[in-house]
Amino acid sequence: MRIVNSIVTMQRLARQWRRAGRGIGFVPTMGFLHAGHLSLVRRARQAAGKNGVVVMSIYVNPTQFGPKEDFSKYPRDLKRDFKLCRQVGVDVVFTPGDKEMYPRWGAAADEPALARQSVAAAREDAHPTNFSTYVVEESLSHTMEGASRPTHFRGVTTVVAKLFNIVLPDVAVFGAKDWQQAAVIQRMVADLNFPVKIIVAPIRRERDGLAMSSRNKYLAGDLRRQAVVLWRSIQTARATVNKSAKPVPAARLKADLKKFIEREPAARLDYVEFFEPDTLMPVTGVRRGTHLALAVFIGKTRLIDNAPL
């Protein structure tokens, strides 16, 4: 396994593989890997083909974090991540630094104030305020995560577009836990003609149903037990829909789930939404085939989950 920190080196390798006719499978991550990430690697290996290579990026992207979010505290353990990557056969791990990804770091003294403020202060310290070119998806990114985290998707689409231009993948694999993110990226790829096939792989769950997430590390003691309320909420919504002969009013079901979730003393609902899975359009009546997504604070930890009903 090779570890690459340089964009120039990564692009040179990618071009060599392409000239040799080797497929490139790509798994973008923010690290602190778990079994869900490793399942994406296996899917990328399959999709890259017999002579293909698999690249995983590990980069905690500052531009997708809001000013009061957990960028500085986000769990990081590269040594552990490298060990797991070797175990599942990753060929190259791309681990750029902030100044590599956003080279014009810090606003110049003579730069206009508007440019200096072009990115919301996503970090407590340095931030790429002199970086001024962003990719913005304007249809699917305004609800749910986009409403709760207004600068989030601009950071996601920009860094993913940059990574696609660096790694030059034939196929990229994302997890279904971030359902809206996957939809936004698929739209970006289609609209901007990226020659990349997007695969959305199923959510991996713990035995008690909690969706695997790097942020689960924040959950200690009773908070970990309470976090299962996200999965139990999904099961409750499914049961309600399955036993109803007609569509269930979305407003009523949202109110019921809020009460259900907030019975847990440390739980606070951020949002719950019911929508069409392909368009992300909200529905007023919930039936089989409707998709549910929710975000819940368990103490200070914000978790997301989603599922078809």
60 close to 44: Cβ distance less than 8 angstroms: no
What's the rounded Cα separation, in Å, for the pair 183 and 192? 14
pLDDT tens, position by position, 34-76: 999 999 999 999 999 999 999 999 999 999 999 889 999 999 9
88 close to 43: Cβ distance less than 8 angstroms: no
* CATH 3.30.1300.10 matches 214-308: yes
Residue 119: the pLDDT is 40
The type of residue at 68 is K
Residue 130: the pLDDT is 67
Architecture of domain 2-201: 3-Layer(aba) Sandwich (3.40)
pLDDT tens, position by position, 192-236: 999 999 999 999 999 999 999 999 999 999 999 999 999 999 999
Residue 16 has pLDDT above 80, yes or no: yes
- Tell me the whole-structure pTM to 2 decimals: 0.91
Burial level of 272, CB count in 10 A (0-12/13-18/19+)?
Answer: buried
Positive or negative, the Cα torsion across 70, 298, 148, 184? positive
Residue 180 has φ and ψ, to the nearest 5°, of -65, -40
Residue 126: the pLDDT is 43
Cite the active site residues: 37
CA nearest neighbour of 30 among 56, 59, 64: 59
Give the pLDDT band (50/70/90) at residue 131.
confident
Residue ranges per domain, the chain?
Answer: 2-201, 214-308
SS3 166: helix
Residue 67: the pLDDT is 87
Residue 132: the pLDDT is 84
Give, for 235, the enclosing helix (H) or strand (E). Answer: helix 229-242
pLDDT (average), residues 95-121:
58
